[in-house]
């Protein structure tokens, strides 16, 4: 189904966005590897996370949703997963499949991983390489793509692995495989990435040490063969999901909204730092700690933005937010330069190419670079009127619906059903703020 965003009146109201997707995946996974009952509130119930839960059930974990919306996971202990009898289907979830490959690599079992057409195009080689070093045997399609079959190590080998490119997914896969290896498994990352895995491993009782090296290098060590202990977790709001109503409020005149309970983990908050540098009126309220994560409410008012040069080293802390940042940049005065984001080329789509094409379709000049883009802002007046190809990418879809709310003419995306992978109630929530989003016929 197509979706069309009409130019909007001022957005008003207080909302809570879904639970953080990255934390939700990890809560299910570590709950399944712990001993006892792990209780989780605020879990994102999007398709990606539900696929992770189903995969864990097929390997022996008991996972139940209660009527009050909380979840219970009865774990099997580190090394206790059983071989699944059927293929593990991760749909559109790159995080789910890569992290689960790490978990299975530390078990002497065989599992076959698959996904939808989009996920099957994404390269898995950067996870396959370290997991093979740890003793796993992996047979994949040409180019290291899904579907693939992974046989875990009889006795996983602890390794020291320098990441060629900063990636929280690869880091986490190696650390998860190292849970069932003797001694210490070490990951060296060239730049800091989101640290939800390290924080949550500690919450479950694992020994994790982190050292800061020169020039932003981080060294993370996990001691293998722990007995993880079940715990109670509250999943905070997802800053990547909050990005869409936040940018919509910034670019829609007269808007004043509050988004509650967002994690502002410094490895995830790069977008908000950047928007504030661009002149965004974002007030950080009620700062607190929940489940080891820094959490706050955000009050956001419509703002006149100015183009800036985004520091390339900030890219890992906002890698999923570049498409919606490009939308904000199109309403700014002057150029916004974004570099250091080459990973966008191998996300659910080539997000650099898809974002640039969508902006051009709506009257915005943009130069796409190998590792980012340069957007020429329209100083608050974006023509709109474009029809945008999403390439079945949920973040491209939501970004250009956001653009349509502040544009002069409606903006239509060719498909919106994949939004449910990360933000099932996106259209409902935006409508409650006053956005006009209309469903159409198939493109």
Is 395 annotated as contributing to ligand binding? yes
For 132, residues 6+ apart whose C-beta sits below 8 A from its C-beta are: 138
Is 167 annotated as contributing to ligand binding? yes
What is the pLDDT averaged over residues 168-183?
Answer: 97
Strand, coil or helix: 3: strand
Sign of CA dihedral 177, 181, 184, 186: negative
What is the b/e burial string over 67-92, where b = at least 16 CB atoms within 10 angstroms of the residue's CB? eeebbebbbbebeebeebeeebbbbb
Whether the predicted pLDDT of 442 surpasses 70: no
Which band of pLDDT confidence, cut at 50, 70 and 90, is reported for residue 346?
confident
- Active-site option among 20, 116, 320, 393: 320
pLDDT score, position 291: 67
- What's the mean pLDDT when you consider all of the chain? 95
Is position 320 annotated as part of the catalytic site? Answer: yes
CA pair distance 382, 51, nearest whole angstrom: 38
Helix (H) or strand (E) holding 215: none
**What confidence tens digit (pLDDT) does each residue in 375-418 have?**
999 999 999 999 999 999 999 999 999 999 999 999 999 999 99
More confident residue, 1 or 159: 159
Is 289 annotated as contributing to ligand binding? no
User: What global pTM score does this model have?
Assistant: 0.88
Is 297 annotated as contributing to ligand binding? no
User: Which residue carries 């990890």 as its tokens?
Assistant: 26
pLDDT score, position 290: 79
As a whole number of Å, the CA-based R_g of the chain is 21
Whether the predicted pLDDT of 441 surpasses 60: no
What is the pLDDT averaged over residues 292-319?
Answer: 94
Is 122 annotated as contributing to ligand binding? yes
For the chain, the structural domain boundaries read 3-19+237-439, 21-159+168-178
Q: Is residue 294 classed exposed, middle or buried when 0-12, 13-18 and 19+ CB atoms within 10 A define those classes? A: middle
Pair of tokens at residue 47: 């398709």
User: For the domain 21-159+168-178, what is the CATH superfamily, name and number?
Assistant: Enolpyruvate transferase domain (3.65.10.10)
What is the pLDDT averaged over residues 282-295?
Answer: 90
User: For the domain 3-19+237-439, what is the CATH superfamily, name and number?
Assistant: Enolpyruvate transferase domain (3.65.10.10)
**What confidence tens digit (pLDDT) does each residue in 211-226 have?**
998 888 999 999 999 9
Closest of 131, 127, 148 to residue 139, by C-alpha: 148
Question: How wide is the angle at C-alpha 72 spanned by C-alphas 66 and 78, nearest 5°?
Answer: 165
**What confidence tens digit (pLDDT) does each residue in 1-60 have?**
899 999 999 999 999 999 999 999 999 999 999 999 999 999 999 999 999 999 999 999
CA pair distance 273, 214, nearest whole angstrom: 23
Is 169 annotated as contributing to ligand binding? yes
What is the pLDDT averaged over residues 319-323?
Answer: 95
Alpha helices (H) along 294-350: 322-330
Pair of tokens at residue 147: 């579907």
List the beta bridge partners of residue 184: 223
Whether the predicted pLDDT of 443 surpasses 60: no
pLDDT score, position 78: 97
Is 26 annotated as contributing to ligand binding? yes
**What confidence tens digit (pLDDT) does each residue in 363-377 have?**
999 999 999 999 999
* One fold for 3-19+237-439 and 21-159+168-178: yes
Q: What percent of the chain stands above pLDDT 70?
A: 99
Whether the predicted pLDDT of 331 surpasses 50: yes
């Amino acid at each position: 189904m197509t979706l069309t965003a009409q130019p909007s009146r001022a957005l008003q109201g207080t909302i809570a966005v879904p639970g953080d997707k990255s934390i939700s995946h990890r809560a299910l996974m570590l709950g399944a590897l712990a001993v006892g009952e792990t209780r989780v509130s605020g879990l994102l119930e999007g398709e990606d996370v539900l696929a992770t839960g189903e995969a864990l059930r097929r390997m022996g974990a008991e996972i139940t949703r209660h009527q009050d919306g909380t979840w219970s996971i009865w774990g099997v202990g580190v090394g206790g997963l059983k071989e699944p009898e059927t293929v593990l289907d991760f749909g559109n979830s790159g995080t789910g499949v890569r992290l689960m490959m790490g978990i299975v690599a530390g078990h002497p079992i065989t599992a076959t991983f698959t996904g939808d057409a989009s996920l099957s195009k994404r390269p898995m080689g950067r996870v396959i390489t370290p997991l093979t070093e740890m003793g796993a045997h992996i047979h994949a399609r040409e180019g290291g793509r899904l579907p693939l079959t992974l046989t875990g190590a009889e006795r996983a080998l602890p390794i020291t692995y320098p990441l060629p490119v900063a990636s929280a997914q690869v880091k986490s896969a190696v650390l998860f495989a190292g849970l069932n290896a003797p001694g210490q498994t070490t990951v060296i990352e060239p730049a800091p990435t989101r640290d939800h895995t390290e924080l949550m491993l500690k919450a479950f009782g694992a020994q994790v040490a982190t050292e800061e090296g020169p020039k932003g290098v981080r060294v993370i060590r996990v001691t293998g063969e722990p007995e993880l202990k079940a715990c109670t977790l509250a999943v905070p709001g997802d800053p990547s999901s909050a990005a869409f109503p936040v940018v919509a409020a910034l670019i829609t005149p007269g808007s004043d909204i509050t988004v509650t309970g967002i994690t502002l983990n410094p490895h995830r908050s790069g977008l908000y730092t950047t928007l504030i540098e661009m002149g965004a009126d974002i007030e950080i309220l009620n700062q607190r700690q929940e489940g080891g994560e820094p959490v706050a409410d955000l009050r956001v008012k419509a703002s006149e933005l100015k183009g800036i040069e985004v520091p390339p080293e900030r890219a890992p802390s906002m890698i999923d937010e570049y498409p919606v940042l490009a939308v904000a940049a199109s309403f700014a005065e002057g150029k916004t330069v974004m570099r250091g984001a080459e990973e966008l080329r191998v996300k659910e789509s080539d997000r650099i190419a898809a974002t640039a094409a969508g902006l051009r379709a709506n009257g915005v000049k943009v130069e796409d670079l190998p590792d980012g883009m340069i957007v020429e802002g329209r100083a608050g007046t974006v023509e709109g009127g474009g029809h945008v190809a999403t390439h079945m990418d949920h973040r491209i879809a939501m970004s250009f619906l956001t653009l349509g709310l502040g544009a002069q003419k409606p903006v239509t995306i060719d498909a919106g059903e994949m939004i449910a992978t990360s933000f099932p109630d996106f259209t409902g929530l935006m409508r409650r703020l006053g956005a006009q989003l209309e469903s159409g016929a198939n493109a």
